[in-house]
Amino acid sequence: MRKTKRRMETLSFYDRTGVERHLEKMAAKGWMIDRVTGLGWVYRRIEPKKLRFAVTYYPKASDFDPSPTEGQQVYHAFSAHAGWQYVCSWAQMQIFCTDQPDPVPIETDPELELETIHAAMVKGFLVPYGILLAIGLWWSAMLVHDIGNDPIGLFSSVTNLFLGVVWPLLALLCIVEIIAYLCWRARARKAAVRGEFVDTPNTRLFQRIIFMVCSAAFAMQILYNVTTGSPLLRVVSIVMVLYMIVLTGVVQGVKQLLKRKKVSRGVNRAVTLAVDVVLAFGMMAAIVFGTIRATQNGWLDRNLTADEPPLTLADLWGDELPEAAYQSSWTEDVSPIVAVCDGREWGSANGADVFIPTLDYTVTEVKLPALYDRCRAQRLAEQEDDRSLEGFRKTCQPCDAAPWGANEAWQMGWQDTGLSDHYLLSYADCIVEIRFSWTLTDAQKALVGEKLGNL
């Protein structure tokens, strides 16, 4: 039978009422809170008993304190005189318990308690949540922008989908928590004038839902990358998970070690921050450098498979393909909603003065029909971009879609030099942008539709 267990609790820092009731239920089940760390709440096994808990706040305390300060010790002694035993602390939060059925309250002045809680909240809650809210709102604004301007880039990346879920939820969490606290504080101030205490609001269920959704989104992102991604993406995904685990574990471990060694608050904070920064940058630099070297040496490949692209020069030219050393690539950015696949083939004539064809295309597969029109509009807008390039102006004109077996087709070119062998093709559930270095025959166009129109 295990003697301790660790849990991730979704309790607000100021929710003294919720923390007290939760700890009372845990004690009744035989689990006493032992300590609160950045890696969870740690409980130790006890005989199930009915205990009363009290949560108070000491604003001058810090999570980096090696032990209770002199002021805290006086405060704990005062509480012990009233029958309350100090259990542990969570930064400025002080947790006490007693087995007395009707103990004398530690806090007797609601106005003083309210100001104490607010001082602790400003120090350890409102500022960090305000920063997190600002970042979440910025990411949410970028998400809205991308939905309107770059839906393909947004929905073809599993990472972007993950961030598109997590950051708005974190922003919502911050908004709910801050508003809940400020509303409670307003009510508590009015009640304090009458000498009354007000229970704090409990947002535990809401926080748990946010935590579960974010965790599920993260797990799905990693699982999707590992099971369907390229070798490069699989390795990077696994390494990044290990990076976060190691960084969090080491930083929290250093902080707890320095606390056990009775290192001062200032030194602990400085050393922990230094370890965090140095380790984070060092590990990230090692990951980036290692990934680049592994890719350059051919150990990792961004290509999803070693197979050739679905459409090749050999398919289009047959026996008439000029002899040369050809190379090809096929890369994919795939999500459950949109897949963007890039195929390219080129060659060198080994010194012979002969025309060597090249092929370059991008297939955008839209798996969610509701997004198709928006993605098609984006691809078309990219081609109709009216920016100047060295005095030339781009043009995009509708052309006959029948030879391609497509629903719609456009041909690109330059107003000064005429149309080129660059096309945009719209099929039932995909959009194909394709470039050639020669002028295609109708038979070759039909083969393009057969090979790429139904990927």
pLDDT tens across 20-39, in order?
Answer: 999 999 999 999 999 988 88
pLDDT tens across 227-239, in order?
Answer: 877 777 788 888 8
Q: Which of 100, 151, 163, 90 is nearest to 125 (CA)?
A: 90
Q: Which of 408, 433, 407, 405 is nearest to 420 (CA)?
A: 433
**Confidence band, pLDDT 50/70/90 cuts, at residue 306:** very low
Mean pLDDT of the 155-166 span: 90
Taking the C-alpha atoms of residue 417 and residue 414, their distance in angstroms, rounded to an integer, is: 5
Q: Among 52-56, 284-288, 430-434, whose mean pLDDT is lowest?
A: 284-288
Q: Which of 377, 378, 363 is nearest to 429 (CA)?
A: 363
Beta-carbon contacts of residue 297 (< 8 Å; ≥ 6 apart): none
**Confidence band, pLDDT 50/70/90 cuts, at residue 389:** low
What one-letter code names the amino acid at 285?
A
Q: Which of 155-158's residues contact partners 24+ apart within 8 Å by CB, and which partners? A: 155/335, 155/337, 155/338, 155/368, 155/371, 155/375, 156/333, 156/334, 156/335, 156/337, 156/338, 156/339, 156/340, 156/364, 157/333, 157/335, 158/221, 158/224, 158/225, 158/334, 158/335, 158/336
* pLDDT the model gives residue 325: 86
User: Quick check: 423 pLDDT over 90?
Assistant: yes
Cβ–Cβ under 8 Å, residues 51 and 97: yes
* pLDDT the model gives residue 62: 85
Residue found by looking up tokens 């604003």 in the block: 59
**Where along the chain do its domains lie?**
4-98, 109-218, 229-302, 313-452
Q: Among 329-333, 372-376, 403-407, 438-442, whose mean pLDDT is lowest?
A: 329-333
pLDDT tens across 212-232, in order?
Answer: 999 999 999 888 888 877 777
* pLDDT the model gives residue 102: 85
**Confidence band, pLDDT 50/70/90 cuts, at residue 297:** low
* pLDDT the model gives residue 74: 87
Taking the C-alpha atoms of residue 248 and residue 345, their distance in angstroms, rounded to an integer, is: 44
The top-scoring range by mean pLDDT among 60-74, 100-114, 298-312 is 100-114
- In whole numbers, what is the pLDDT of the chain averaged over residues? 88
Better pLDDT: 272 or 1: 272
Q: Which of 407, 416, 405 is nearest to 445 (CA)?
A: 405
Cβ–Cβ under 8 Å, residues 405 and 444: no
Q: How many C-beta neighbours within 10 Å does residue 247 have? A: 16
How large a percentage of the chain has pLDDT more than 70?
94
* pLDDT the model gives residue 354: 80
Better pLDDT: 350 or 78: 78
Beta-carbon contacts of residue 405 (< 8 Å; ≥ 6 apart): 427, 446, 449, 450, 453
Q: Which of 272, 268, 275 is nearest to 66 (CA)?
A: 268
